[in-house]
Chain A
Amino acid sequence: MPSKEYLQAERNQPWREALRKTMKNKERTDLPRVKMPEQPPEVRIHNFREVNLGLTPEQALAESHRCLDCVDPTCITGCPVEINIPKFIKNIERGEILEAAKTLKETNALPAVCGRVCPQERQCESQCFYVQKLKKQAVAIGYLERFAADYERESGHISIPETAPANGIKIAVAGSGPAGLAFAGDMAKMGYDVTVFEALHELGGVLRYGIPEFRLPNTIVEVEIEGLKKMGVKFVTNCIVGKTISQEDLKEMGYRGLFIGSGAGLPNFMHIPGENLIGVMSCNEYLTRVNLMQAADPESDTPIHRGKKVAVIGGGNTAMDAVRTARRLGAEKAMIVYRRSEEEMPARIEEVKHAKEEGVEFFTLHNPLRYEGDENGHVQRMLLQRMKLGEPDASGRRRPIPIEGDTLWVDVDEVIVSVGVSPNPLIPSSFAGLEVTPHGTIVVDGETMQTSVEYIFAGGDIVRGGATVILAMGDGRKAAKGMDAWLKKTL
């Protein structure tokens, strides 16, 4: 949490005091929350363009009035990177949108991304005064964040954070997902010579190969990466740390520190009969074909099945992304099969809502038992088990239990398995001495993100085993601080 004194000093700036007086709090709290303009469902299921169109300047201004510029801005406690939320919103209110964008970048290297994909309803917005005390809808912090970041980008006046004079110390990063990018940005700010190595042929990690265009356009990610390049960060694609370059190579090349942000790339399967039939695939495979390899483009060499009856197994963001992608690729019947009820779904509320509007069918409290294929081994139907909810389990969610004998067959021609990912063992297995948990995540010091190997720090999904963009970025920032302190001590 930024210090109370600092927040107070900022809040006491004359412009903010003046702004607070322009409207009574009662007037502010009576204002309705803005609605995000969207592409209509019947249009958007035929294209891959963004569903959320972004607030208009008038809408953003109206929403900014709602924020009360609280003495104790509890919203900040809900943000893993502790954006000074009232400061950026009040800058929007006074019309200084570029200043608002700068405020975001004080602590968040990728605001245009977070404004789009953060589960705000569980993070910043859940802690907003409106929710906590007034039982009203939160200030639309995420929408405003996106507005300010988009405004800056479209204005062409992108502020590049100032960097300290180069100190010539070489630092390597494995993985260009949000953790690696956030780490690289902070280290570059401190004057380090940072190189990011990425295994794939494109940068961005899940932002690129996982989250679809209709939620996060690739150009947004590209612009953010351009910003890092301007700060002096170097990027090397097609390079697998631990394979293409070894631990020894890194040392030989003069790298003094390594940050591992390699993500949780290994897809889980359920290990039920028929799961290796043609047409059954992991969510990672499906989304990678479409997003990274552009398989929907007829000119692309990468093939994709365009199922007519598609079942997606799971209830997370990944599952929603896949099922909505299937709809856009022409599925007449697109189904979510989830073993608990809708309440327990880990996906963002907005995603579930969008999926429903797009005609996705929800088989909640259902679980697949087996798949059967035709004579060519192509999946044809699935057997589902009906479930009910029992007692809460260790995670606090009610445990799904099968209703004995209550099953049904459903016809499908494509099944996308989206039941979680595990950490990719590639790095842990090629770095001697790196301590990992039984789940395969890398063990780190929670404060500094330092691993059991002194010069290696880690963060994001490889440490958390699957989390969010903003938590991964928070880790990257913590690790930058930790590594900087360690380097200063040892060099």
Chain B
Amino acid sequence: MNKIVGKEYLSDKVVKFEIEAPLIAKSRKAGHFVIVRIGKKGERVPYTIASADPQKGTITLVVQNVGKSSGKFCELNVGDYITDLVGPLGKATHIENFGTVVCAGGGVGIAPMLPIIEAMKKAGNKVIAVLAARTKELVILENEVRQFADEVIIMTDDGSYGKKGLITNGVEEVIQREKVDLCVTIGPAIMMKFVSELTKKYNIQTIASLNTIMVDGTGMCGACRVTVGGKTKFVCVDGPEFDAHQVDFDEMLMRLKAYN
């Protein structure tokens, strides 16, 4: 049982939680995630660790209310307990000084991008964050991102904030302007697919963090499997980050609909 010690609405449907988890706070790295279960009948659902405070012994999760389980999560308040929480899971992001890194985060994908932006900056990279959302209210964590990114480009579908357009427009603008050494993309699968297609055209190495359906998160069930470079990989143990140009996004998009 892990206690919720902080709750903040980043938008109508996006909640930031601070949760007591001292062991995880100490051992987690950028890119890691946890599996959460709410209630005795709850399912096991993955969320990326957006940040952690080892001194306080807490981790931060940013949860977008998209359905049943995330909805139950968002109803919890400070002082409530999370029935089960396990982690850190997955492989940590490979961080080094690549040069110029474009971090393309869409929607709730901005949250898991935050620790990567921070780590990439600290490793000496020039970090350009491209944040995209449908509309102004859904652009989350802008201030936090600004603390670490050298530049922040905001794109909204409806033009209500930043520039009007898709995330790919923002990324392409940077690519045409300067040399990009690495692109990291996190967001809805369809968005990552298009970012990947774009950077492939320009031959820019790209990492995507995949958000497949999971059960155990430890490599035991294979629910999370995807095809990468023609081989079956388990996102929870082999990922969640993969070479985006090798990922079969169409298969992944299909598999995400397994229980809809």
Known: A238-B85, A244-B88, A426-B237. A265 touches B218 (CB 8 A): yes
Q: Smallest CB–CB gap between A222 and chain B, Å?
A: 14
Nearest residue, chain A, Cβ from B225: A276
Known: A243-B87, A297-B41. A199 touches B218 (CB 8 A): yes
A251–B154 alpha-carbon span in the complex (Å): 47
A107 at interface by CB-CB < 8 Å: no
Q: Smallest CB–CB gap between B101 and chain A, Å?
A: 27
A289–B88 alpha-carbon span in the complex (Å): 22
Determine which of A199, A269, A278 lies in contact with B258 in the assembled complex, contact meaning CB atoms within 8 Å: A278
A288 at interface by CB-CB < 8 Å: yes
Determine which of B85, B219, B255 lies in contact with A278 in the assembled complex, contact meaning CB atoms within 8 Å: B255
B27 at interface by CB-CB < 8 Å: yes
- Which B17-70 residues sit within 8 Å CB-CB of chain A? 23-24, 26-27, 37, 39, 41-44, 68-69
Q: DSSP majority for the A interface?
A: loop
A246–B218 alpha-carbon span in the complex (Å): 16
In the complex, how many residues of chain B place their beta carbon closer than 8 angstroms to a beta carbon of chain A? 39
B119 at interface by CB-CB < 8 Å: no
Q: Is the CB of B43 within 8 A of A302?
A: yes
For A262-291 the 0/1 string (1 means CB < 8 A from B) is 000111010100011011011011001100
Q: Is the CB of B259 within 8 A of A238?
A: no
Determine which of B41, B85, B222 lies in contact with A267 in the assembled complex, contact meaning CB atoms within 8 Å: B222
- Which A347-383 residues sit within 8 Å CB-CB of chain B? 376-377
Nearest residue, chain A, Cβ from B259: A303
Q: Is the CB of A281 within 8 A of B87?
A: no
Known: A245-B27, A303-B259. A265 touches B220 (CB 8 A): yes
In the complex, how many residues of chain A place their beta carbon closer than 8 angstroms to a beta carbon of chain B? 41
Q: Is the CB of B23 within 8 A of A245?
A: yes
Determine which of B39, B86, B257, B259 lies in contact with A239 in the assembled complex, contact meaning CB atoms within 8 Å: B86
> Which residues of B lie under 8 Å from residue A424 when comparing CB positions?
218-220
Which of A238, A276, A284, A376 has the most chain B CB within a 10 Å cutoff?
A238
Q: Smallest CB–CB gap between A461 and chain B, Å?
A: 12
> Which residues of A lie under 8 Å from residue B89 when comparing CB positions?
240, 243
Q: Smallest CB–CB gap between B251 and chain A, Å?
A: 6
A275–B225 alpha-carbon span in the complex (Å): 10
A345 at interface by CB-CB < 8 Å: no
Q: Is the CB of A376 within 8 A of B257?
A: yes
Q: Is the CB of B232 within 8 A of A281?
A: no
Determine which of A243, A279, A297, A300 lies in contact with B88 in the assembled complex, contact meaning CB atoms within 8 Å: A243
Q: Smallest CB–CB gap between A291 and chain B, Å?
A: 12
Q: Is the CB of B41 within 8 A of A299?
A: yes
Determine which of A237, A285, A299 lies in contact with B222 in the assembled complex, contact meaning CB atoms within 8 Å: A285
Nearest residue, chain B, Cβ from A202: B84
A237–B1 alpha-carbon span in the complex (Å): 10
Nearest residue, chain B, Cβ from A293: B43
Which of A271, A282, A299, A301 has the most chain B CB within a 10 Å cutoff?
A301
Q: Is the CB of A425 within 8 A of B219?
A: yes
> Which residues of B lie under 8 Å from residue A238 when comparing CB positions?
84-86
Nearest residue, chain B, Cβ from A245: B23
> Which residues of A lie under 8 Å from residue B216 when comparing CB positions?
199-200, 288
A294 at interface by CB-CB < 8 Å: yes
> Which residues of B lie under 8 Å from residue A297 when comparing CB positions?
41
> Which residues of A lie under 8 Å from residue B205 when comparing CB positions?
none
- List 6 contacting pairs A-B, 8 Å CB cutoff, sorted by A: A238-B86, A239-B23, A240-B89, A289-B215, A300-B43, A426-B237
B→A interface (CB under 8 Å): 23-24, 26-27, 37, 39, 41-44, 68-69, 72, 83-89, 215-216, 218-223, 225-227, 232, 237, 251, 254-255, 257-259
